[in-house]
Amino acid sequence: MRIMKLKTHLLLLIGFLLLLSNVSHGQGLCYRGGGGFTLDKNEGCAPLTVTWESTVPNPVLVGYNISYDGRSLNPSTQNISSFRYVNPGEFTILQQGASSNGAFFHCEKVTVSESRGVNHLLTACGAGKVNLLLTQDVILNAYERVEINWGDGSAPEYWIKGDNLNREHTYTNTTTRPIIKVRGLYNESAVCKEGVTLELPVIFQQTELTGIQISTLDMSSGGSLSFTYKGIDAIRTQVQYSVDGGANFNNGESWSLGGINTFSIRSLSKDKPYTVRLLSMDNCGESLPSKEITTMAIKAESSGGTVKLSWNKYPVAADFRNYELYRNGNLIETFGDIDEVSFTDTDVDCGDFEVYSVKAILVGASSQSAEEAIRVNNSGSLGLEKASVSVSGNGVLIMAEASGKSYDLTIERAESKDGLFRRIMILNSQNEYLDNNNIQPSEKSYCYKLSYSSCGQQYPATPPLCTILLEKKHSTFTWSDHLPFLVPIESYTMLQTGSSGSAQEVAVDQNPYTPKLNSDSDPEYTFQIKAVSDDGKLESLSNAITFKRSADVFFPTAFSPNGDFKNDDIKPIATELASYNFTIYNRWGCVVFHTDNQALGWDGMVKNQLAELGWYLYKVSFVDDLNQKVEKRGTFMLLR
């Protein structure tokens, strides 16, 4: 009996398939009739789950296509009774099956309404003002109106189609953080009445801007003033400095970086006090100055085997805590009185070479002077007068200008100016040394301290002299700004040598620097930064970087994703790309993998299943540094 039923079912299935193969190519399948099913709902907000039940008695087989296009004659079907529609739209559910009476078809319409939150741009400014800009897109167009609740007890505001997309509101209380609620609405008669409610916290920027303050000021012997502050992303902050106590300010550079930042103002005098502040601008163009900080300057004189020191009085008593006096980097005295601005150091020996600095400890900040060097009651040489470091091939060339015929020069090295310095060489009456022992000057900047001794007199080590590290990201070059000399830097020059032999020296007045290249330029260049001292007598070269004008893209011919950690994924190997798209197709032209992240590769999986062995096609589309659009195609083999 079971065999007879099975034969009957198979005959009906064969007849059904023959019937489908002979359907004419005119209309779709919805109009053929014979079927039927009921929906528990045919309209609602996305995501919408629809459940149905067939009304056809005793079907042999039945399937459903949940998004029938109304034209296909052989659509795929599934034996399901419900589906969850995530995206909005108009959908047709097709029923297709067979019974003892032959093939049957039936269609029902489902309307899924938009429910996503409205896209927007919220800007909070000073004085309690906020701007809410609605985005004109398919989401906003789906709603009849948008309700905006400002969260401060005021009546809700409504945007209606055709209104201005920008809505403004002013809060009277800026000490709180109100929550703006935004939701899209439909007509009251609609089944789907509203979309998702967005909750937008308001942070008033003027309150945030008060936190942008200078935390440290540090004057160098070369007249470079370094300062540290904590910035906010996308908030433009400009440094200003004054030479007349804050009556008039000069504008310096500006930045828009979040987190802890350290920058410098160059070409100042280490012996003058400067008033420094930050000016931060919010998104509405309003500015807020930070607290003003004054630099410190120290003077030293020697007589009678002592050193007499004096420094400028800090001008703001409310910000002052104490002065700290340092000798050779060590704290020797603390002064809690703002008027105590002098000290005589008697703990020194005649002929010694001492280096002093003073730091003002302030409320939430500090200001340190440049170092002042002095020899105690001793005429003649003051030790090293000039010194420089420069990258030379794979090494660093160290040069010093010392007085006298007989002396020792001790060289110490560290991987940063604040790192641990270790002695690497002692030169006897020599002023030049090439350091090429276990260093990579093309990857990091190395700092050196030079110690000079003569006639039984040992002088303190010089401040750190650091090599210039040139780095490149895409076609933009940046370099470290540590001093390679004992004197300030006068200028930087970019040395540019082409593969054709062309050479060019370009004066650069800003860091970073982007060379001007085009399709007529040499295909390859070597770049190197040259620094020149302010007296024009010293030069320091950075490491050299080779730059190819067009991007290189290499693609493997095969990979074996078998979990042995060797060739387990496949991706292009490329450099100098501004944008990037990578797609893999199977032999039928179906996409099995796609990414725009250059770090990601395909692991040989498709929908969590192992992909078939064999040939695959790839396409790589990218834009190189010169904005040239390039596309590369090819094939590769998947092995295991």
- SS3 assignment, position 7: helix
Band (406; pLDDT cuts 50, 70, 90): low
What is the reported pLDDT for 126?
64
- Least-confidence region, from 31-40, 492-501, 570-579: 570-579
Domain range 120-203, CATH architecture: Sandwich (2.60)
Band (378; pLDDT cuts 50, 70, 90): very low
What is the reported pLDDT for 509?
83
DSSP 327-363: ETTEEEEEE--TT--EEEE-S--TT-EEEEEEEEEET
Mean pLDDT across the stretch 579-598?
91
Q: Are 40 and 52 in contact (CB under 8 A)?
A: yes
Considering the domain 298-375 in this protein, what is its CATH number? 2.60.40.10
Mean pLDDT across the stretch 177-190?
92
What is the reported pLDDT for 23?
43
Band (634; pLDDT cuts 50, 70, 90): very high
What is the reported pLDDT for 9?
45
DSSP 547-579: EESS--EE--SEE--SSSSSS-SB--EE-SEEE
Rounded to 5°, angle at Cα 512 from 466 and 274: 70
Superfamily of domain covering 383-549: Immunoglobulins (2.60.40.10)
Band (239; pLDDT cuts 50, 70, 90): very high
pLDDT in tens, 331-348: 999 999 999 999 999 888
Q: Tokens standing for 76?
A: 């795929």
Q: To which H or E segment does residue 528 belong? A: strand 524-533
Q: Which residue has the higher pLDDT, 396 or 500?
A: 396
Q: Where are the domains of the chain?
A: 2-113, 120-203, 207-294, 298-375, 383-549, 553-638
What is the reported pLDDT for 455?
56
What is the reported pLDDT for 410?
93
What is the reported pLDDT for 7?
38
User: Is 375's pLDDT higher than 90?
Assistant: no
The CATH class of the 207-294 domain is mainly beta
Give the DSSP letter of residue 284. T
User: Is 144's pLDDT higher than 90?
Assistant: yes
Q: Which pTM was predicted?
A: 0.38
Mean pLDDT across the stretch 243-258?
90
What is the reported pLDDT for 481?
84
Mean pLDDT across the stretch 574-585?
81
User: Is 25's pLDDT higher than 50?
Assistant: no
Which sign does the torsion angle of CA 121, 122, 124, 125 carry? positive
User: Is 19's pLDDT higher than 90?
Assistant: no
What is the reported pLDDT for 113?
96
- Least-confidence region, from 164-178, 368-382, 575-589: 368-382
pLDDT in tens, 26-70: 479 999 999 999 999 999 999 999 999 999 999 999 999 999 999
Q: Are 595 and 582 in contact (CB under 8 A)?
A: yes
Contacts of 392 (CB under 8 A, 6+ apart): 434, 541
Considering the domain 2-113 in this protein, what is its CATH number? 2.60.40.10
User: Is 24's pLDDT higher than 50?
Assistant: no
User: Is 6's pLDDT higher than 50?
Assistant: no
- Right CATH number for 553-638 from 1.10.1740, 3.30.310, 2.60.40, 3.30.70? 2.60.40
- Least-confidence region, from 102-106, 405-409, 467-471: 405-409
Mean pLDDT across the stretch 469-498?
87
Q: Are 152 and 191 in contact (CB under 8 A)?
A: no
What is the reported pLDDT for 380?
45
Band (456; pLDDT cuts 50, 70, 90): low
| Sequence letter at residue 283 | N
Band (206; pLDDT cuts 50, 70, 90): low
DSSP 137-201: SHHHHHSSEEEEE-SSSPPPEEEETTS-SEEEEE-S--SS--EEEEEEE--TTSSS-B-PPEEEE
User: Is 88's pLDDT higher than 90?
Assistant: yes
Q: Which long-range contacts (CB under 8 A, 24 or more apart) does 11-18 make?
A: 12/60, 12/98, 12/99, 12/100, 13/60, 13/61, 13/98, 15/98, 15/102, 16/60, 16/61, 16/98, 16/102, 16/103
CA distance 63 to 276: 77
Rounded to 5°, angle at Cα 453 from 447 and 456: 155
What is the reported pLDDT for 575?
66
Give the DSSP letter of residue 313. P
> Does this chain's domain 2-113 share its CATH topology with 383-549?
yes
What is the reported pLDDT for 549?
62
What is the reported pLDDT for 15?
43
